[in-house]
Amino acid sequence: MINLKKYLKISLFLKYFKLLTLFLILEVWLYFLASILILFLRIFNKYFNIRFGRCRVDVIGNSIHNLDCYIGEKKLFKKNFNDYFFVGEDCCNSFLLKLVKRNLKIFWFIKYFYKIDKLLPGKSNLSIYPRDYRLIGSGGTDPDKIISKTKNNIVFSNEENELGFKYLREVGINSKKFVCFIFRNESYKKNYYPKINFSYHNYRNTNIESYYEALNYFTRKGYYVIRMGKGEDHPIKIKNDKIIDYSFSKFRSDFLDIWLMSQCDICFTSGTGLDDVALAFRKPILNVNLIPMASIRSYYPNILCIFKKFKFQGEKKYLNLSKLINLNAENFFYTQEYIAKKISIIDNSPEEIKKAAEEMYLRINNQWEDSEVSNNDQIRFWDKLFLSKNFSSGKRWINKGCKIGSNFLKENKHLLN
């Protein structure tokens, strides 16, 4: 008598074995065909101008930054290439993937040409450079000034805009000004990637309560505040009808995550991937609790920054910028690096954040005047930071619209000593 359970297991194994065998045979043939085409193009590509690239969609920040810079670069320099991409990994945002497919030529089989070109020895002109615009310098330096010289590189359809404006009507904002607020914490990574240990950048996390004074300030100035986020565990616990905790609402979607950031009047952030969407749409950015210092977006034309502060463990005195540079701590990207140097990290206080919010409001409304002392502090800061090889590498330059909080520099004189 046949054991039905055993028979089904064997049948299932054979089915999957056949599928795997067919897949491997197909893969071998695809790589073989790709090899022939790559060898041909290496000789004759001057007639075709074909390039192959891998398109990132795994994280929102680098991915949309790459898309924005790639489109801007082609627009700015009129590059006549026939570029083809494949999507290299799991997608973090379904609407981001839609934007990518709308703007780039995406085909699944391009990965075979891309990988073979990387494997074969010899000189090649078939790869799209840069593979990742963030690899140029520390955090990206935009040496060709793509960000400041181009705009509207990514656009929405009329139907998409109507869908976004419908949400604003639903929550009572309509055509009023609004701030998109996002603060970095452990929730998103923990809830969406539970098997991966992300403690290596816990140093970037902050506490939501420290932002309350600044949020209330913006609402008093007539702005609505939309708290952004995905997979959040930390709701806003203040009562203010003009503060909307979108991250916990039924309306949250991948589309609105991007569309709202593209339409905001101010992006208020502690440094996350989502604020790169605001950058891609050239929105004013207020970046508090910025860390590490060398990662500052010095190329961006409309950004105000204040930094986390540092002490040696057990000491009261804050570390100045020169000391941080000597330790390479102005460019530490891993929690363990700070621990190894026995450095404690201190978040910005609610008062520091509120003062930065006040300055941001005045600057974007053309009501701020820099004093001579403030201007000198800005110059001294950049002069000192340029002593960092981590910062000055990668054709670094300073956009005059990138500012350090004047009150922050005034109240933290230790930084420039």
Tens-place pLDDT, residues 217-230: 999 999 999 999 98
Picking from 241, 263, 281, the residue at the C-terminal end of a domain is 281
What pTM was estimated for this model as a whole? 0.91
pLDDT at 262: 98
Q: Are residues 121 and 161 in the same domain?
A: no
Angstrom distance (rounded) from CA 257 to CA 132: 23
pLDDT at 130: 73
Q: Are residues 264 and 335 in the same domain?
A: no
- One-letter amino acid identity for 6? K
Residue whose C-alpha is closest to residue 411's, from 347, 355, 345: 355
Q: Are residues 290 and 388 in the same domain?
A: yes
On the CB side of 405, CA atoms within 13 Å amount to: 29
pLDDT at 186: 74
Angstrom distance (rounded) from CA 295 to CA 329: 12
Angstrom distance (rounded) from CA 193 to CA 188: 8
pLDDT at 1: 45
Q: Are residues 275 and 315 in the same domain?
A: no
**pLDDT for 159-202, tens place per residue?**
999 999 999 999 999 999 999 999 988 777 776 677 777 787 88
Looking at the 3D structure of the chain, how many domains does it have?
Answer: 3
Q: Are residues 339 and 415 in the same domain?
A: yes
- Residue 165, in any domain of the structure: yes
Picking from 104, 135, 166, the residue at the C-terminal end of a domain is 135
Angstrom distance (rounded) from CA 225 to CA 217: 10
Domain encompassing residue 411: 285-417
pLDDT at 185: 80
Report residues of the chain scoring pLDDT below 50.
1-2, 7
**pLDDT for 360-416, tens place per residue?**
999 999 999 999 999 999 999 999 999 999 888 777 899 999 999 999 999 999 999
- Residue 369, in any domain of the structure: yes
pLDDT at 24: 66
pLDDT at 162: 98
- Residue 258, in any domain of the structure: yes
Q: Across the strands, what pairs with 227?
A: 181
pLDDT at 157: 98
Picking from 100, 135, 170, the residue at the C-terminal end of a domain is 135
pLDDT at 413: 94
Written as one string, the DSSP assignment of 221-278 is TT-EEEE--SS------S--TTEE-GGGSTT--HHHHHHHHHH-SEEEESS-STHHHH
